[in-house]
Every structure is written in C-alpha cells, then in structure tokens.
A and B are shown apart, each in its own frame.
Chain A
C-alpha cells in the first residue's frame, strides 16, 4: 500500500487526515510542521505528501520546494491543503512544485477521491 506523509500543525486535522487514510489502507506517517516533515521524508521515501500550507517553523510551500530538491521526491505527488481564500497560495504552491491542492474544509470522502487521483 502506498505510504503517505501527512503534515499539519493542527492535531485535529492531522488526526482526521491520517485516520481517514489509514482506514483506507494507506500507510500514513504524521508530521507536525515543515521541519518535522522534511526530516521524516529524508528518513524514508513516501509515495505521496499531503501538507497544510500555513504552519509554524516551515510552511507547506517551503516544504514542497525543499522536498522537490531532493532526488527521491522529484516526481512524488504532493498535495497542499488550502483555504478558499488561498488563490495566490495555489499559484505559489504550483511554482514550488505542488502537484495539486485540496480546498478546506473537505470531508474524508473528498480527501480519498483526491488521493486516488494522484495515487490511483
């Protein structure tokens, strides 16, 4: 099963995302911010990264940019979770190398559907 790194500084969102993904059979690891995520991503290779944008220490866009610079993550799908107001963020995220985005709030079904899009 595909492994996914779920990054969010909000514990409830992180729990929701990882619970949903685990229930669908994915192998999920959680990270609390960009720094934590980068560390974990270097320790093992994930098949997909799902990250919040607004986080302390290192935000999601910087994380995506940093990850894309790693050979292992050149082509890995990376999704960012944005809010409806984040149009400019989407562009910024794309420029950093994000594969796509999900607009918050979303429900577990939408999340799984979107993941199938990149992991299917």
Chain B
C-alpha cells in the first residue's frame, strides 16, 4: 500500500513550529541556579518529536541536526551534563536555525547549509566541551555500552550463516516462560510467521501441563520443538523471535548440523518450564484478515490521498480544542431534532398547529444562533499564540541593549479570531521593540530617577464588549509632549501655533515620517514606522491609543474586533436600498428635518450637535440612490459615526433593525468600492453593502 506522506507535512510543520516555541520558552525560563527537570524534559521532548517526525517524513537534514540537540539535552536531562548559560544560548541559536531550516523546507527552498553547519559546529563544541559533569557521566555511559554489547552478542552467529544456508532449514526448541502471554505475544502468531518462511513442523510438549485443578489458563505451560524447512537465513528466524527474546528459552540450530550454536537468548532461568494443554489456553486475539481489504480499498484510498495532498498544500489548518468540536456536534444534533420536529408539523399542517410551528421556529432560531456561535468559536485562538514569541524577543533585545527588563504576560488565554492573531503579530513586535528601545531607560538612569533598576513591560489582553483589547504597558520614561511638539514642528508636520490636546500630541507619533529616536538603532526605527502600525491595526477594524505620563511610563492600547468574519450591524434604509453600518462606529442617531442642516459655503453641509459642527454625508447622493419617496428625505435620521477619531453624520431615510451580519468580501467577488468595506446577504436574499466608516469620514473631510 502506498501512502502519500506529503499530506502529513502541513501538520508536521505546524507541530514543529509549536515544538520550537515550547523549546524556546523553556530555554528562556531555565534558571541556572535551580534547574527544573520538568522544563528540561519539555525541551527534550520538543527536539525528540521533531527528530522522530522529520525522520519519518524524510527530512534527513533536520533529523540529523535535531539528533545532536537531542543527545545534548538527553545528557542534561539525566544530569550527566550541567546546564550552563552558554549551552542554553547555543540551544536557543539551534532553535532559530531549525526554524529557518523548516521554513525553507516548507517553502520548498534550499536550506542555508552554511548557517546550519555553523550552528551544528557550535552544538558539537558544547557537546564535546568540558562542561560535562564529572562523576555521574561515565558509569551511566559505560552501562549503556556494555548492554549494547551483550545485546549485539546474541546475533553474532552471522559468520556461520553461509554454512548454515546449505543445511536448508532450522530446528528450534522454543520454551516460553509462563508469562509469555502476558506481554500480548502469542506463540501461534510466531508459528504462522515461521510458516511463511518455509514448511513448518511443530511438535508440542505437554508433559509440563499441570492437572486441571492447578491449571492457570493465563500461563503458557506448553513448549514446542519446531522445524522449518527452506532456504532461510538465521537472521530471518531470529527476527521473528525478536520480541519474545526475554520471555522464553530458545535454541536455534541449523538442521542436520550437530554443532550447537550459541543460544540466541541468554539462558537466564533454566527453571523447568512446565506444561501443556491440548486446547491452546492462550486467549485468542481477534482474528482478522486485513489483507483482502487492503487490496480492494487500494484505488480508493489512493484517490483520497491525492485529494488530501492537494488540499493541504493550499489550506492552512487550525488546531481546535475537542471541547469546541463536541459543542458543535451537540448543536448540530439539536438542529436536526428541531428540523424533524418542524417536518412533522408540516406534514399534516392545519391551523391549530400554528402554536407548535411558532415554537419550532423560535427553537430553530435559537439553535442556529448557537450553532453560529460555536462555529465562530472554532476560529478563536488564545492570544498566547502571539504572546509566546515575545519573551524571546525581550530577552534578546534587552541583552543587546544592556537593559534589564522583565516581560509580564497577562490574559494569554484571551481568545481572538485566527485572522486577527495572524495579522496582529507584526504591529505588536514593532510596539514592543519601541518600548524596549525608547521606553525603558538604561539601568543607571532608572536608578537615578528613583525607579527599580529592572524595567517592566506588561503585555495584557482582555475582552471588552465585542472587542479584544491588547495593552503594552511599560514603566519607562514616558512620552515628552514638548519634545514631540518641537519635533513635529521641525519636521513640518504641524504649524507652530497649532493648539493640540494631549491626545493629539501623542498621536503625532503615528504620522508618517515621524521618529523621535535621536538616532535610529537596528532595534526599532527600521523603516516601518508607527504610521504603518496604525494603518495595519485600522485595516483590521481596530484602533490604537496612547496614554503616557512623563517619567512614569507609557500604555499603548489596541482595540480589535474579535472576529473579522461577523459584524454587529445597524441596517439603515436609503431609498429602496439597505446599508449596514457597523454598530461599533455609531455614537448616536438623531431624527431630524431638512431645516436643521446648515449649508456652509465651500464645506458642504454641517449639523450642529451640542456646539460642535459635524460634516453631513447624504447617503442618497453619495451612493446615487434615486428610488423611494424623495419627499421623505425632507426628514430623516442622522447617524453620528466615528472613524479614526473624527465624527461625521450619515443622513439616511430610516433605521431598520440591528443584526449580526456575515461579511462577504466585495473585492473577491467584484472589486474594491470606495466607502464600502464589504457586503452581506439579508434574510430576504437581497444584498446589502456594509459601510466603511473610516473611509466615509475621510471622504467627508476632503
């Protein structure tokens, strides 16, 4: 049977990367003074699994490399080798190297051999280096070798083999110990295998079987004299008995040859092995004949193999908690029950069943909602997928900068949509680098400022409403408003006599071309600026804000929607069309008449809301809607929305309901449309456009 192994590659790679992360965080938490053996074990297991998998799936380079790591870790695990900081650093380097190798292999690129060799050498230096703990090392190692020798001792009959072959067969005295059956081995199976090699004759010795009353059916009281005839090598015979080696007494001799060969199995206990029962007492293992099935199934499975391989090549996969799947299955069950109930009602429908029908429909609605919830839940991953990379980042950068910094992670189990998890990583890396580089001061400066020498960066995630909030809190020097202002003026980003609120000043750092670092280091300020960070977060439908106090520290808070696939929306009517306004961006809605709007020359229309003049966008004109009753536009509803910190009013005919809508991409199905972020399908089957509020606000400002 041929199985296409490539279908498992995706899972293998994901698992490797997860393993590497676990190894990395393990290595980072290792405390030199007090080694936690469980951590070493975890790290070892990571290397071990990667080695096993890469061997199986044919990535020999990886397998060879991890083998060295594994050896090193094994020695550390057994206490034969001391865990030292240099060794840990080399291992961390190896983790990086492996990650690179695996990424290259995954993308079908060439592995960078030079770098692999470099890391390999570093590992070997550590492995052969002097840091081996002296005493316990040797005895253990010796034990292993001696055991290996004795193990290899047995089959050293090989030389005689060529002679044996001429004898055309073997005579085997097979005398199982009483406990043989208790390892799940069954003599019958051994005989069957022997029979496949050549013609087998068995002679049963039952003289040791005790009387009926003393008989323990779980013991093997029988022994056998076996004769196999055929052109069989000694190794083939020994291979069959490989598994029962320690559970029996056995002599294997070539037929018609008087010379006794060294027994294959050490004769440890020559205790007379009793017994026999004519009816084999060995509990029968279930008889199965998988062969024919294999054959008939072959074409089938082949097809599905290829299919699977094809799909895995494209699709990214996701690991889902079994609990979530169970809930889902449960829900589907409920829906099916409701459906059959409704079916029953519909079969002989009469008006007196209306109540029943309504109940059924209500139930269906509830179950559909729950089902949707459960399905969405599948896409939810704990934010720790992102957070777990940061301890390493902080470790590496802070040592490069000679700063003392601890990273605290809070709320790692907060769940968020997979798409958000994937896209939030880069902005977070940037923000944390900034905190490390610009936020936290040098230890001496900190002490001088009366702060603890070690700085703290806290990475915190929590749910608020339909959002996830991620905060990066440092206790560093904070943002200097005057400096920011001066810089912005110097760069010509704002005019000198502009009066800005504190919030506006902080937001200056999000402007393109703004950087406060006196000199760019290789840690932060590498091309991507804060403006890119903000844009990325906004493209996820989120926003970012800064709270900072000079000398005390800075908090950067990112608000993101929990999912990018579903949105809470307010449907509004404009003529005959329905539009969806994301609920999160609505501040309030006001019933107005035409007269309440003010026309400002050159600035379009505005609406005065509590002493503030807000721009008004007429949805009818912006989307060219002519249908519906035009007189109705004499009065309408103003929806006050916020996007990118700016307010604006959307003039619509009326408010419809609030509902969760599933976002369908307009770009994928049509093309990008200004002011529209996507589309959805309404209950009656018609399509409604989802408004891109920040886009509309930008439009209104222009």
Contacts and interface: CB of A to CB of B under 8 A. Distances in A.
Interface of A: 1-2, 9-13, 15-16, 19-20, 23-26, 47, 52, 54-56, 68, 74-78, 81, 83, 87-88, 91, 94, 97-101, 104-109, 112, 115-120
Interface centre among B3, B189, B283 (most CB of A within 10 A): B3
B182 A47 contact: no
B185 interface: yes
Contact of B52 (A76, A99, A105, A117): A105
Interface string B40-72: 001011001101110111000001000000000
Contacts of B52: 10, 13, 52, 81, 83, 104-105
Contacts of A81: 52
Given A23-B1, A105-B55, 11 more contacts: A12-B12, A19-B8, A54-B49, A75-B186, A77-B186, A81-B52, A97-B184, A117-B189, A118-B186, A119-B286, A119-B290
Contacts of A101: 243
A109 to B, nearest CB: 7
Nearest to A101: B243
Contact of B1 (A77, A91, A112, A117): A112
Contact of B285 (A15, A76, A91): A76
B15 interface: yes
Contact of A118 (B144, B285, B293): B285
Interface centre among A75, A91, A115 (most CB of B within 10 A): A75
Interface in B281-306: 282-283, 285-286, 288, 290-291, 293-294, 297, 301, 305
B290 A116 contact: yes
Given A12-B8, A19-B8, A120-B189, A25 B183 contact: no
Nearest to A73: B184
A77 B147 contact: no
Nearest to A21: B290
A100 B185 contact: yes
Q: 6 closest A-B pairs (Cβ-Cβ)?
A: A105-B55, A99-B184, A12-B12, A100-B243, A25-B293, A77-B184
Contacts of B1: 20, 23-24, 108-109, 112
A92 B288 CA distance: 29
Contact of B243 (A24, A99, A116): A99
A99 B245 CA distance: 11
Interface residues of B, number: 54
Interface centre among B44, B148, B282, B291 (most CB of A within 10 A): B291
A106 B184 CA distance: 22
Contacts of A13: 49, 52-53, 56
A107 B5 CA distance: 9
B613 interface: no
Contacts of B42: 56
Interface of B: 1-3, 5, 7-9, 11-12, 14-15, 42, 44-45, 48-49, 51-53, 55-57, 63, 144, 147-148, 151, 181-186, 189, 192-193, 218, 242-243, 246-247, 282-283, 285-286, 288, 290-291, 293-294, 297, 301, 305, 319
A24 B283 CA distance: 25
5 contacts: A16-B8, A68-B182, A83-B51, A99-B183, A118-B184
Contact of A24 (B48, B49, B53, B294): B294
Given A1-B290, A23-B1, A118-B189, A97 B48 contact: no
B293 A9 contact: no
Contact of B181 (A52, A75, A109): A75
Contact of A74 (B5, B53, B182, B193): B182
A23 B286 contact: no
Contact of B15 (A2, A12, A99, A109): A12
A75 B3 CA distance: 31
A25 B8 contact: no
A12 B57 contact: yes
Contacts of A77: 184-186, 285
Given A56-B45, A83-B51, A87-B151, A16 B56 contact: yes
Nearest to B289: A120
Given A9-B49, A75-B184, A101-B243, A108 B286 contact: no
Contacts of B183: 94, 97-99
A60 B12 CA distance: 21
A120 B191 CA distance: 11
A15 B9 CA distance: 10
B147 A94 contact: no
Nearest to A99: B184
A26 B193 CA distance: 21
B182 to A, nearest CB: 6
A2 B44 CA distance: 34
Contacts of A52: 52
